[in-house]
Amino acid sequence: MRIAVLASGKGSNFQNLVNLSRDGILDIEIIKLITNKSNAGCINKAISSKIRYEVINDKDFKTSEEFEYQIINALSNNQIELIVLAGWMKILSERFVNSFKNRIINIHPSLLPSFKGNKAIERAFINKSLITGCSVHFVVPEVDSGELIVQAALAIKSDENIEDLKEKIHSLEHIILPQGISEAGLIIRS
């Protein structure tokens, strides 16, 4: 399946997908990485993995329409079947989401519908949740609200520290995002 990855951060999920694709474990071709941050860690990962990438910095555009139009342009003519948001921290407009209807998935570091939005791990931790986790879901215009594809849960131990919790959730993300891509691929191609 031909995929594009949108990421704003260090890109551990992106790197994991690159590795699984390279090793023939996940039948995907990562056509392009798009990031909105010129200093994002995912850029170096794309360079060292020889994946095409493009920096489309939202700060360079007067409006979010122009910013998103540039992303749509960068994706067009590439026969992209699925867009994967892997640590993409910009909310996408209804217009954008509808132009790739049911073909965008997102990984989120909470057990949705709990803790939508930013700093989800921190909020679950501060809230003293007993269980948290991560979710892969289809993207709809309402933030972190689309149909769930796969989730993973873990207990937050009473003596857990936030850094350990983040690491555990990232490890789970590296398991469920590939699963979510496979599931989404089956749905998209059915």
| Contacts with ligand GAR, residue ranges (CB under 6 A) | 7, 9-14, 86-87, 107-109, 120, 170, 173
Do 151 and 111 contact (CB within 8 A), yes or no?
yes
Identity of the residue, 26 or 107, whose beta carbon is nearer to ligand GAR in the bound complex: 107
Choose the catalytic residue: 108, 137, 170, 174: 108
Identity of the residue, 90 or 103, whose beta carbon is nearer to ligand GAR in the bound complex: 90
Beta-sheet strands, E only, within 36-187: 53-55, 82-85, 104-108, 131-138, 148-155
Backbone angles phi, psi at 116, to 5 degrees: -70, 155
DSSP 8-class letter at 129: -
- Sign, CA torsion 122/127/133/135: negative
Identity of the residue, 86 or 92, whose beta carbon is nearer to ligand GAR in the bound complex: 86
How far is Cα of residue 97 from the mean position of the Cα atoms in its chain?
14
Residue 184 CB, shortest distance to ligand GAR, in Å, is: 16
Concerning whether 108 is annotated as a catalytic residue, the answer is yes
Residue 189 CB, shortest distance to ligand GAR, in Å, is: 25
Residue 10 CB, shortest distance to ligand GAR, in Å, is: 4
Distance in angstroms (rounded) separating the CA atoms of residues 28 and 179: 12
Identity of the residue, 12 or 67, whose beta carbon is nearer to ligand GAR in the bound complex: 12
Backbone angles phi, psi at 68, to 5 degrees: -70, -35
The catalytic residue positions are 108
